Structure 1
Amino acid sequence: MGDSRLTSFQKQVSDLLLRHRSFLDVTSKFQDSTSRVNRALMKAVTECGCIEVHAARQPVDYEASISELKDRFKTHLSGRLCDHCQDVVKAEMGKHLFYFTALCNLLELPLDEIVHQESDKLSTLGVFNLR
């Protein structure tokens, strides 16, 4: 069942995580990485301006089908990340993935099984798993 790329990445993280092997260190670094991803996105809006946020209430038409609702709901984003902002966001997301995987390692949870389990749940529940 294992996805060799995910398994290989998980082993690589295990081999490279030296300084922050403590559960407390990893969980705090994981939380910090979440903040860094959010900060990189906010800077793309407030400093660079390559993306803009135009937020408003999402009206729900209870008569509409799920596919119609999907088309009606907005992301509230306009524009695209410029190359620089995209590089920064991708780097921060990579660090986030690193610490997520490190947390999986400490808890002895196979990353590929987590991904496959979530994918199976999404496939099984389909639209009933809306988030």
Structure 2
Amino acid sequence: MSEKSLESFQTQVSDLLIRHRSFLDVTSKFQESNARVNRALMKSVTDCGCIKVDAKKQNYPDNSKVSEWSAQLSTHLDGKLCDHCHDVISAEIGKNIFYLTSVCNLLDLKLADVLEKESDRLFTLGVYHLR
């Protein structure tokens, strides 16, 4: 997404956020939308079963480089989201982004600037950011 598209989205969010314009409302809605993303993910496992979580201790290879770890470490996920779960999770993430953008608007932060700064930081730190 280009910077112009992000600015357009941010303006659209500002124009549409009318009822819950209070900082307290927006931050609680942001937290609630994050919980809904997590709930949709869990339902993909527990209700639908299209994905499965197979978690165990990560074993970091002794004689490999940090740059090779991502190819050797597990995501603990098996399967693929079905169309229904994909749609539900995408919609919930979209709402979450809406409220994240609303927080940015209330704090007079440009979403594009926030993303650019994080990208620059990740680029500078490379694999040493270890998230």
**TM-score using structure 2 length:** 0.96
Corresponding residue of 2:86: 86
CA distance in 2, matches of 1:25, 1:62: 48
AA partner of residue 26 (structure 1): V
Give 1:127 shift.
1.0
SS of the equivalent of 1:74 reads coil
CA distance in 1, matches of 2:101, 2:122: 21
CA distance in 1, matches of 2:102, 2:62: 42
Which of structure 1's runs of 4+ aligned residues deviate more than 2 A?
Answer: none
Corresponding residue of 2:35: 35
Q: Which runs of 5+ in 2 are unaligned?
A: none
**TM-score using structure 1 length:** 0.96
CA distance in 2, matches of 1:120, 1:55: 32
Corresponding residue of 1:101: 101
Give 1:63 shift.
3.2
CA distance in 1, matches of 2:92, 2:117: 25
Corresponding residue of 2:21: 21
CA distance in 2, matches of 1:61, 1:73: 9
Aligned residue pairs total 130
Cα offsets for 1:41-95 (capped at 9, x unmatched): 0000000000000000001234320132121110000111000000000000000
**Percent identity over paired residues:** 59
CA distance in 2, matches of 1:46, 1:76: 15
CA RMSD of aligned residues (A): 1.1
SS of the equivalent of 1:52 reads strand
Q: Which runs of 5+ in 1 are unaligned?
A: none
